[in-house]
Amino acid sequence: MLYFSIKKGITIFIGRKVNFIDLFAGAGGLSEGFIRAGYEPIAHVEIDEAACFSLKTRSAYHYLKQNNQFDTYLQYLRGEINRQELYSKLPKDILSSVIHKAIGEENNAAIFGAIDANLPVNKEVDLIVGGPPCQAYSLVGRARSEHGMRKDPRNFLYVQYANYLERYNPKMFVFENVLGLKSAGKGAYLANMERLFNKKGYKINIFTVKAENFGVLQQRRRLIIIGWKDDFVPNLPDLDNFRSGITGHVSDLLVDLPFLQAGQGIDKFSHYAENNVSDYLRNTHIRNGVEELTQHIARPHNEQDKEIYRVAIQKWEDARERLNYNDLEDRLKTHNNRKSFTDRFKVVASDLEASQTVVAHIAKDGHYYIHPDIEQNRSISVREAARLQSFPDDFYFEGVKEGANRTAAFKQIGNAVPPLMGEMIARELFTLFD
């Protein structure tokens, strides 16, 4: 198998593929990165039904591409075949590798059975990746919760993660979560987590990473916990100080997309506005030769919001200053809370090297993600949000029902691990599985 490191510019040949299980998989951002680095997925476990359809559709992408049937996937992006017809082209084991169940005591036996059925006889699991939902640990989630998320059952999903480590005994695991995990419960959750992982036979190293250091044009801070069996000593990469060498500006993500105004856009499919593909888009796999542009859809806005958007954009263009909600005219202020979240209207500034963090709240409104072009005067589209998260343009986000589902797509994108960051981490760990 061929392994190519973007960072070091070298090629390494390895005799077998490293396999992995993705827990709390979401739409598969972390999986996408590991697959691009040459790893082989055994199973994806996810509670959200829409995200499971996205995982199946992406599994179709990889399977059809590897088996010289890629035009079938392009037919799907063009809307020439439906989702059921796409899935009919896949072996049953590909579809069954996506397990739509909540990880927990009530479902673990069934999930174990489904994973085991996809695991070849006498083959071991090399790696487990994924991270439990982060709302219970996030600073914003705690601020909005009456009890500071102390009673949220998601606080203890790491216990379930440990059960899967015990069951499958992988050589290593990669656990991703928010920075707030460090301070949640005054540090007790993280300390208990480390003790539990140690009890299961794993030592861990905790890294604080910046997505922009991996080439993602977004200010995203996350914890990456690397765990390994205590019977070997890995030469771990220094993820805290990692630099991919891939850089750009937010404008690189926007320049080739068609002009849209609020409420406009086509799900399947539209054409690019520009034929020139920037080095950034090419180097990060966002543009990779597929010309079928999907999900460049903008949500509608009322006239008041669009007026506020113009104020925010003009303020940035004139003085590179962010809009403070309290500076708006009184007639434009409809929120009673004037003390917190005063930056609730924020432009995705095209001249910056990284945007603000894309989070799942984008599914509720787009005020924090205003497109920088005052003529378009809207929040960013599904495709633009996906690009900020480094998803390739041929990655299609599904809803529960087939067809355009902007809200479901935004939620999946906001909750995802940027595939580019996942890929870089995967490549750095690859040789540890020799």
What's the helix, strand, coil split of the chain in %, to 5?
Answer: 40, 15, 45
Q: Are 214 and 421 in contact (CB under 8 A)?
A: yes
Cα 226 to Cα 206: distance, rounded to the nearest angstrom:
7
Cα 374 to Cα 317: distance, rounded to the nearest angstrom:
10
Cα 411 to Cα 358: distance, rounded to the nearest angstrom:
10
Cα 54 to Cα 235: distance, rounded to the nearest angstrom:
35
> Mapped to the 3 state alphabet, what secondary structure does 266-313 carry?
ECCCECCCCCCCCHHHHHCCCCCCCCCECCEECCCCCHHHHHHHHHHH
Q: Take residue 107 and report the two structure tokens written for it.
A: 């479902």
| Catalytic option among 42, 134, 358, 413 | 134
Cα 423 to Cα 306: distance, rounded to the nearest angstrom:
37
Of the candidates 426, 425, 349, 352, the one whose C-alpha atom is nearest the C-alpha of residue 40 is 426
Q: Are 406 and 297 in contact (CB under 8 A)?
A: yes
Q: Would residue 52 show up in a list of annotated catalytic residues for this protein? A: no
At how many degrees (to 10) do helices 49-66 and 70-77 cross?
A: 140
Residue numbers annotated as active site? 134
